[in-house]
Amino acid sequence: MERISWHQYFMAQSHLLALRSTCTRLMVGATIVRDKRIIAGGYNGSISGGKHCIEDGCYVIDNHCVRTIHAEINALLQCAKFGVPTDGAEIYVTHFPCLNCCKSLIQAGIKKVFYASDYKNHEYAIELFEAAGVDVEQVELEEMILDRNSEEKLKFTADILNRLEQLGLPSDELQKLKEVANNLYTSN
Q: Which residues are catalytic?
A: 72
One-letter amino acid for residue 176 of the chain: K
Which residues are CB-contacts of 68 (< 8 A; sequence separation ≥ 6)? 22, 23, 44, 45, 46, 53, 58
Kindly give the interhelix angle for 6-18 and 71-82, rounded to the nearest 10 degrees: 100
CB 57 within 8 A of CB 24: yes
Amino acid at 162: N
Ramachandran area for residue 175 (φ above 0: left; ψ -120 to 50: alpha; else beta): alpha
Closest to 92 (Cα-Cα) out of 76, 121, 112, 109: 112
